[in-house]
Each structure stands twice: as structure tokens, then as C-alpha cells.
Chain A
């Protein structure tokens, strides 16, 4: 089932087939559930993306920005001390945390911002949970001289205050959303309302592999560089494919990005880690597969957390980026097919994993990525010493220092 690794990870001009049906379906999931007004802009975006993806000039400009602006390829780092301490598989970390702006989000933002410019849009609209996507969008808006408005739930603004300041410094307007749970879901609602009113001038730069077609397929493709690079790098380092690839899953963009490089390699286990939050009760977590059921949220049909009457449930995670009621539709299809497995990891384990990786490898992961680290800690010892596993470190933990400081008791004077 092996396919030839591409010569260079980030520059891969040959367009592979789009991952979904022309209607945006991944198996049963995906599609386009939006008010009629948004269909024309979504069609315009789909057409622009399909043209751009086979345009060598577009691909060359994107590859140049990914390399020279964002910092691709990112290293695949062998976690020596972790491996020595834990035993079992040799653990590799895909270092998306080393990218400009501190997370994988910039891959997709560069791609979509170039598309927006191609379509003649003057304004970028984005939503953000943890703030990483908002920062990445504000960054590319500054880079390309576009206006930028970022919607962010008020609760998220409070817990990610530093990212709010970063976005403002980059010239973006941050609009607080006071509706609902005041988190990512509510920010997406508000961004969609803005877009529906101003779709002529504005591009909605959706930040995860979610929402109506073409977003799930398009966002996946802009993050596919993660998987392409990782596959090439592990073959170089180990001379063989990994036994397992582990990534955290909020909407699921970093996970689908790295998984996409290994989907055709049937022997590589793909594991997604959702937020188990404080426990299994509805409202206490964001584990859509463990606690949810199929439904429609914000334009796509996938697994969602909902009450018996079909109202979207509240979610909780210590990590704002995973605190969302729907999972990207391709993940739902991969789970149905049995190609990927999804588990949940709670707040406490994620916090402990942050502490572990900081102390063991000198790497402070984002709380989102720490969920993948926590699961990898459980799984690495189950593999033989000849196996390798890859953990996607989707972002760095600087933005989480206030939460880490509070939760792990790191602040204050010594007593």
C-alpha cells in the first residue's frame, strides 16, 4: 500500500484528488447546511480553490510563504528522554509548535488568505477559540494588507488574554461574543452572521476542518503538508513507517493534516484524542464520539454533542481549542471506516502531560496538543521497542501559561 514519498514535504504541486465527493461528503458526513445566501459565496470559494490548487503559481507562492515566512518544514524530533523513561515505542514529535505564530493554524491561514486575495476580497473574518487561529489570521491579514475582524467568545477572551493583545497588535479588530457559552461555537455563529451580511467584500477564513463544503476538504489540504513532511521524515529517521500517529482533535485540522499523510498506509494506526474535560456527563467534556451522535452544526453533518431535543450541548475543556461541540466530518467518516480510532483524555491528564513534556524534553506544548501527549504516554509502552510513534505537537504552550500557572501551582512567591 506504500506510495512514494514526495521529494520535499512542503512543496507538493501535483494536486491529489479532493478528499470528498463534489457535494462535500466524506462517507455519510459533511455536506453544506447553510442559509441560501451563503451558497453562492461557498460556490465561489470552491471554484477559486479548485482552480488555485492546480495553479503552479499559487502553489509556488504558498510553498514560498510556508518555507520562508512560516518556517516549514517543521522538525520531526526524536524524544530521547521520554523514550528512555517510558520504554516501548520510540517517540517522535512533529514540531508544529515551532511555526510562526506558534501553531499549525498558519498553514491554513496562508492558503486561505492567498485565495481571498485571488478572489479580490478585502477583508478577512475569522473565529477563534484558543486564539491561535485568530492570531494566525491577523498575521496573514497584516502580511497581505487585508482588513481583519476576529470573533472570540468572551470566556475565551478572558482565558486567552495574551492572544487578544497579539491580534490587536497585528492590526485586527477582536469582537467579543457574549451569546451562548461565549466560546468557539458562538464565535463561529457570529462570524457566519458577519459573512452572510458582507460576503461580497469578505472572505470567511474558517480555522478548522469543519463547516460547510469546501472548508473541511480545503482546510485538510492546506494542512496536508504536516503529514507529507512527517512521512518523509520518519522514513529518513527510522527507515520505516510509524506504528501509530497520535493527534488531538477539536474540529480536527491538525489531526487530519497529519493523518492525511498516512491514510494510504494501512499498517499505520491513526489515533485522535478528544477533550474528556472533567468527566463523561454532557456539558463536562467535548468528546463528540464518546458522548455525541450524528447531527448538523454550523454547516456540516457530523458527530455533535446535543441534548435529546437536538439543541447543541454546552462543552467543557481546559483547552479552549478543543472546547467545541462538533468534530470535522472526515473524522466521522474515518471512524466509521475503522481507519482511525478516537479516544478522550481529560483535563487533569492533559495538564500532567504538559508538565511531563516540559520537564522531560524542554518543550511546553499547547494544552490542546497535551491531550495527544497524554494519550501517547499511555500507548508508547504498549508498542515494541522497534516501533516508532509520532505525536503531533500542534502548538506551543506559551498562550496557556496563565492556566498552567494556576492549575499546576507555578505562580506566586516561594514560601
Chain B
């Protein structure tokens, strides 16, 4: 679905943001690989470090970065990302800071950017102001974990007016009718949740994941990224055989945190880059 590039004509990010997520998936597909989509919690360990991490990830081959907006009550997240959110919040990181961080990353890199968070901080700003600020920051789209299409009419309209792409989750528990609704509401790509449960690394790609992606394909031609539980090159390779993108969150957040614990915030970006390279196999 083409987005309205006019909304960005005055933005420094006009070329990359205006085209949405499609070019990032197209580029990966052309190179014969799955798009690599790392997640980081903005502000963990610090906002400055997050900027360096994002730039290092982009340099190391990330196609799209999920920029996590920390929230006090992250019900969809496992302990690793919960702790990362707590560390960010303890430093007073707000949505406003995350948007400023996104703008800094955008000024220095054309990497795809997806704001990833919970609905309340977005809602608090107000949908119109949020969409305006997110577009000005140069992100391509937004995923609100606890916002389902039925509750998202105003959100979708506000994002559409700014040329931003709303990405929705599809779950193993979603019946066909819901997959159709999720596909209809999504722009840019769909995020398939590999298994029931919260975020967190697992040893195996769940057997139902391939099935879910196949079920979603019946309802959309949009790219489909798979996430929840991925942590290794072998898993990314396996996912690449049936999905268009692989999201890696918990394992990356844990690797970066371990490096920071050991060697301080300066170790964060190199650790992120080296982790991402291992995923490329």
C-alpha cells in the first residue's frame, strides 16, 4: 500500500520514510536473504548508547530496527526486556526522548525504524501529535503491542495522515477472520508472533510458526516478519525459508546488557554489532 510521501516533503528523512518499509524487504529479498530486524529498548543502558547501538546495528547489516519505547507495565514482555525497560525508565527516558533518539539515528543512517511500544504513552501524547512527532523523527512505522485493529481506528487514521505504517501482530491463536482483519489493517509488514507467551529467547523455532506464516499469506501480499524467541543464526536461516523478516530482541538485549555490565556503556555498540554479525551466520 503506497504511503503519502507528501507528508514528508519537508522532512530530512523524506526519501527513506516516505516509502515505508517496502524497500527494506525488497532489498533483502533481492539479496536472497531474510530481512534482519533487531529490537533494542531505547535508553538501555543510556540514550547516547542506544544511538550508538542503533548505528552499529545498521552498519552491521540490520535492515529495520525496532526502537522499543520503555513502559512501566510491559505485559507482553519477558523478564529480559522488562528489566531493560526498568533500566531506561530509571533514567527518566520518555517517549519524547525516544523520538529525539529516532531523529538522531535518522540523520545519520537510512536504516528502517519501527517504534515499538505500548499504547498508553502514545495515547497520552494524543494520536495526532504522536503521529506528527513520529513522522518528524523519520520513523517508517509504529507497532503498539497492546493495540488490536478493533481499537485502532483513530490511531490508524492519524498514522495514515502522516504517511506512517501501522504494523499489527498476528498470533498463533488468531483465527482466520482475525488474520484477515489484521492483514487489512497493517501497512508495511505484519509481525507474526512465533508462539503464545511473552518475549524471550528459545532454543527452537516453534513448529507452528511456519504454519502461521502460511496462514497469514492467504490474506496479504505484505511482507511477514517473525518474532518472539529467535536468537541464533540457525534460527534466522530457518525463518528465512518461510518468512520475509526475522526479529531478534531478547537475545540482543541480553548480550548488550552483559557487555555493559562487564565493560561499561561504551561496550554496548560493539557488542550489539558483533551479536548481529553472528546472526548473519
Residues of A within 8 A of B (CB): 23, 31-41, 179-180, 185-186, 189, 192-193, 196-200, 295-299, 304, 306, 308-312
* Cα-based distance from A311 to B86 in the complex (angstroms): 11
B258 at the binding interface (Cβ < 8 Å): no
Residue of A nearest to B70 (CB): A311
B122 at the binding interface (Cβ < 8 Å): yes
Residue of A nearest to B198 (CB): A193
Would A185 and B73 count as touching, CB distance under 8 A?
A: yes
* Cα-based distance from A297 to B173 in the complex (angstroms): 23
Would A311 and B148 count as touching, CB distance under 8 A?
A: no
B171 at the binding interface (Cβ < 8 Å): yes
Given the complex, which residues of A lie within 8 Å of B196, measured CB to CB? 37, 196-200
* Cα-based distance from A393 to B217 in the complex (angstroms): 55
Given the complex, which residues of A lie within 8 Å of B120, measured CB to CB? 295-297, 304, 306, 310-312
B84-118 near A? 1/0 per residue, CB < 8 Å:
00100100001110000000000000000000001
Given the complex, which residues of A lie within 8 Å of B119, measured CB to CB? 33, 296
Residue of A nearest to B76 (CB): A35
Would A197 and B178 count as touching, CB distance under 8 A?
A: no
Given the complex, which residues of B lie within 8 Å of A312, measured CB to CB? 72-73, 120
Would B151 and A32 count as touching, CB distance under 8 A?
A: yes
Would A40 and B178 count as touching, CB distance under 8 A?
A: yes
Would A309 and B73 count as touching, CB distance under 8 A?
A: no
Would A311 and B78 count as touching, CB distance under 8 A?
A: no
Contact A33/B76 with A297-B120, A309-B96 known, Cβ cut-off 8 Å: no
Given the complex, which residues of A lie within 8 Å of B125, measured CB to CB? 310
* Cα-based distance from A38 to B196 in the complex (angstroms): 9
Would A40 and B174 count as touching, CB distance under 8 A?
A: yes
User: For B123, B147, B193, B196, which residue has the most chain A Cβ atoms within 10 angstroms?
Assistant: B196
Besides the known contacts A32-B151, A312-B72, 5 further A-B residue pairs in the complex with CB atoms under 8 A apart: A33-B146, A36-B148, A36-B173, A39-B148, A189-B73
Residue of B nearest to A200 (CB): B196
Contact A311/B89 with A37-B193, A193-B75 known, Cβ cut-off 8 Å: yes
User: For A197, A298, A309, which residue has the most chain B Cβ atoms within 10 angstroms?
Assistant: A309
B121 at the binding interface (Cβ < 8 Å): yes
Would A189 and B75 count as touching, CB distance under 8 A?
A: yes
Would A309 and B172 count as touching, CB distance under 8 A?
A: no
Would A309 and B121 count as touching, CB distance under 8 A?
A: yes
Min distance, Cβ B6 to any Cβ of chain A, angstroms: 30
Contact A36/B169 with A179-B82, A196-B196 known, Cβ cut-off 8 Å: yes
Given the complex, which residues of B lie within 8 Å of A186, measured CB to CB? 73
Contact A309/B173 with A35-B76, A295-B123 known, Cβ cut-off 8 Å: no
* Cα-based distance from A199 to B151 in the complex (angstroms): 22
B176-215 near A? 1/0 per residue, CB < 8 Å:
0010001000000000010011100000000000000000
* Cα-based distance from A296 to B168 in the complex (angstroms): 18
* Cα-based distance from A39 to B86 in the complex (angstroms): 27
Would B151 and A33 count as touching, CB distance under 8 A?
A: yes
Residue of A nearest to B193 (CB): A37
Contact of A196 among B71, B73, B76, B148 (CB under 8 A): B76
* Cα-based distance from A298 to B279 in the complex (angstroms): 34
Would B124 and A306 count as touching, CB distance under 8 A?
A: yes
* Cα-based distance from A297 to B124 in the complex (angstroms): 12
Min distance, Cβ B72 to any Cβ of chain A, angstroms: 4
Given the complex, which residues of A lie within 8 Å of B145, measured CB to CB? 35
B150 at the binding interface (Cβ < 8 Å): yes
* Cα-based distance from A34 to B146 in the complex (angstroms): 4
Would A192 and B124 count as touching, CB distance under 8 A?
A: no
Contact of A36 among B94, B193, B198 (CB under 8 A): B193
Min distance, Cβ B224 to any Cβ of chain A, angstroms: 14
- List the 4 closest pairs (A to B, CB-CB), nearest first: A310-B124, A310-B121, A197-B197, A309-B94
Would A311 and B150 count as touching, CB distance under 8 A?
A: no
Would B173 and A311 count as touching, CB distance under 8 A?
A: no
B175 at the binding interface (Cβ < 8 Å): yes
Given the complex, which residues of A lie within 8 Å of B197, measured CB to CB? 37, 193, 196-197
* Cα-based distance from A39 to B198 in the complex (angstroms): 14
B170 at the binding interface (Cβ < 8 Å): yes
Would A41 and B173 count as touching, CB distance under 8 A?
A: yes
* Cα-based distance from A298 to B150 in the complex (angstroms): 17
11 A-B residue pairs with CB within 8 Å: A36-B193, A37-B173, A39-B171, A39-B174, A40-B171, A180-B72, A189-B75, A199-B196, A297-B73, A309-B96, A312-B73
B128-147 near A? 1/0 per residue, CB < 8 Å:
00000000000000000111
Given the complex, which residues of B lie within 8 Å of A296, measured CB to CB? 118-120, 123, 146
Given the complex, which residues of B lie within 8 Å of A189, measured CB to CB? 73-75
Given the complex, which residues of A lie within 8 Å of B86, measured CB to CB? 179-180
* Cα-based distance from A52 to B253 in the complex (angstroms): 45
* Cα-based distance from A200 to B146 in the complex (angstroms): 20
Residue of B nearest to A312 (CB): B72
* Cα-based distance from A398 to B204 in the complex (angstroms): 49
Given the complex, which residues of A lie within 8 Å of B182, measured CB to CB? 36
Min distance, Cβ B148 to any Cβ of chain A, angstroms: 6
* Cα-based distance from A193 to B150 in the complex (angstroms): 22
Residue of A nearest to B149 (CB): A36
Contact A180/B73 with A37-B196, A295-B123, A296-B146 known, Cβ cut-off 8 Å: yes
Given the complex, which residues of A lie within 8 Å of B198, measured CB to CB? 193, 196-197
Contact A310/B123 with A23-B150, A37-B171, A192-B75 known, Cβ cut-off 8 Å: yes
Would A39 and B178 count as touching, CB distance under 8 A?
A: yes
Which residues B45-83 have CB closer than 8 A to chain A?
A: 71-76, 78, 82
Given the complex, which residues of B lie within 8 Å of A36, measured CB to CB? 148, 168-171, 173-174, 178, 182, 193
Would B171 and A35 count as touching, CB distance under 8 A?
A: yes
Given the complex, which residues of A lie within 8 Å of B82, measured CB to CB? 179
Min distance, Cβ B104 to any Cβ of chain A, angstroms: 19
Given the complex, which residues of B lie within 8 Å of A297, measured CB to CB? 73, 120
B10-40 near A? 1/0 per residue, CB < 8 Å:
0000000000000000000000000000000
* Cα-based distance from A151 to B168 in the complex (angstroms): 29
Contact of B173 among A32, A39, A310 (CB under 8 A): A39
Given the complex, which residues of A lie within 8 Å of B174, measured CB to CB? 36-37, 39-40
Given the complex, which residues of A lie within 8 Å of B193, measured CB to CB? 35-37
Given the complex, which residues of A lie within 8 Å of B170, measured CB to CB? 36
